Amino acid sequence: MKDSTAQSGSTWFDVDRNGLGRVVERRGKEFALFELIQNSIDAGSKSVRVDLKTLDRHCASLVVEDDAAEGFVSLRHAYTLFADSPKGTNPELRGRFDFGEKLVLSLCDEAEIVSTTGSVRFAKDGKRYFQKQAKRAAGTIFMAHIRMSKAEVEKALVAAHTIIVPVNVDISVNGSRISPRVPLAQFRTMLPTEVADADGNLRRRVRMTDVKLYKVLDGETASLYEMGIPVCETSDRYHYDVCQRIPLSLDRDSVNGPYLRAIRAEALSVAIPTLGPEDVRKHWVSEAIGAPNVEPAAVKAVMDLRFGEDAVAADPSDREGEKLSASQGRQVVHGGSFSSEQWQNIRKAGALPAAGQVTPGPGKLETEGVYKTIPESKWTTSMQAVALYSQRVGKHLLDRDIKVQFTADPGAHFQAAYGRERAGLTFNHFHLPGGKDWYDAPEETIDSMLLHEFAHEYSGDHLESLYHDALCDLGAKLRSCQARLLIARGEVGHAA
In the range 134-163, which residues lie near Mg ion by CB under 5 A?
none
Among the candidate windows 65-73, 97-105, 122-130, 430-438, which touches Mg ion by CB under 5 A? 97-105
In the complex, what is the shortest distance from the CB of residue 244 to ligand ATP, in angstroms, rounded to a whole number?
14
In the complex, what is the shortest distance from the CB of residue 38 to Mg ion, in angstroms, rounded to a whole number?
6
Residue 251, classified by CB atoms within 10 Å of its CB into exposed (0-12), middle (13-18) or buried (19+), is middle
- Residue 194 lies near ligand ATP (rule: CB under 6 A): no
Residue among 440, 444, 446 at smallest CA distance from 425: 446
For residue 143, the tally of other CB atoms under 10 A from its CB is 17
Kindly tell me the sign of the dihedral angle through the C-alpha atoms of 206, 210, 214, 220: negative
- Asked whether the beta carbons of 436 and 381 are under 8 A apart, the reply is no
- Residue 40 lies near ligand ATP (rule: CB under 6 A): yes
d(CA 12, CA 285): 49
Nearer to ligand ATP, 99 or 187 (CB): 99
Residue among 367, 235, 251, 347 at smallest CA distance from 299: 347
Pick from 31, 34, 97, 379 the residue near ligand ATP by CB under 6 A: 97
In the complex, what is the shortest distance from the CB of residue 103 to ligand ATP, in angstroms, rounded to a whole number?
8
Nearer to Mg ion, 87 or 212 (CB): 87
In the range 30-89, which residues lie near Mg ion by CB under 5 A?
39
d(CA 27, CA 29): 6
- The residues, ordered by sequence, that sit 6+ positions from 212 with a Cβ below 8 Å of its Cβ are 164, 183, 185, 186, 240, 241, 243
- Residue 49 lies near ligand ATP (rule: CB under 6 A): no
Among the candidate windows 38-46, 147-155, 317-325, 355-363, which touches ligand ATP by CB under 6 A? 38-46
In the range 129-148, which residues lie near ligand ATP by CB under 6 A?
140
Backbone angles phi, psi at 239, to 5 degrees: -80, 140
d(CA 74, CA 1): 45
In the complex, what is the shortest distance from the CB of residue 89 to Mg ion, in angstroms, rounded to a whole number?
15
Pick from 24, 29, 59, 95 the residue near ligand ATP by CB under 6 A: 95
- Residue 66 lies near ligand ATP (rule: CB under 6 A): yes
- Asked whether the beta carbons of 30 and 155 are under 8 A apart, the reply is yes
Among the candidate windows 69-77, 429-437, 463-471, 482-490, which touches ligand ATP by CB under 6 A? 69-77
- Residue 65 lies near ligand ATP (rule: CB under 6 A): no
Residues of the shown chain interacting with ligand ATP in the complex, contacts defined by CB under 6 A: 35, 39-40, 43, 66, 68, 71-73, 77, 85-87, 95-102, 140
